[in-house]
Amino acid sequence: MTRARTTWTLWFVFLAIPGSGFLRFDGIHFSSKLEFFAVANSTIALLSPGFREKTRHLLASHGGNSNRWVTLALVSVVLLKFFTYTLLPLGNGFEACYRSIYAPLERATA
């Protein structure tokens, strides 16, 4: 796999891998407008030959060190996002507010 292809694959893995609901990019189902915007723009950019060539040139600059740093950063963020999902899988405070009505609280009479 070429360097640019690896970088693009890691970018889309970062966008798609599930993360905690507390994160801005919480993974597949792309529930926020920002997530949808990032996926749509990334897909359009990937389909543009000029943008792909520019990305390939930027990743090859500085003797390939740019690609190594970008790859390291993306792998780190993907792992961090995955661990946030395993530690805090739910979000939006729903799990703290849920209460079953099967055994309702008794009302105190005054």
For the chain, the domains span 3-97
What's the mean per-residue pLDDT of the chain?
77
Mean pLDDT of 30-58: 85
Mean pLDDT of 39-67: 83
Maximum distance among all Cα pairs of the chain, rounded to whole angstroms: 78
pLDDT surpasses 70 at 67: yes
Residue type, 92: N
Sorted by sequence, the CB contacts under 8 Å of residue 7 that are 6+ apart come out as: 55, 59, 67, 70, 71, 74
Separation between Cα atoms, residue 64 and residue 46, nearest integer Å: 20
Percent of the residues in the chain that have a pLDDT greater than 90, as a whole number: 3
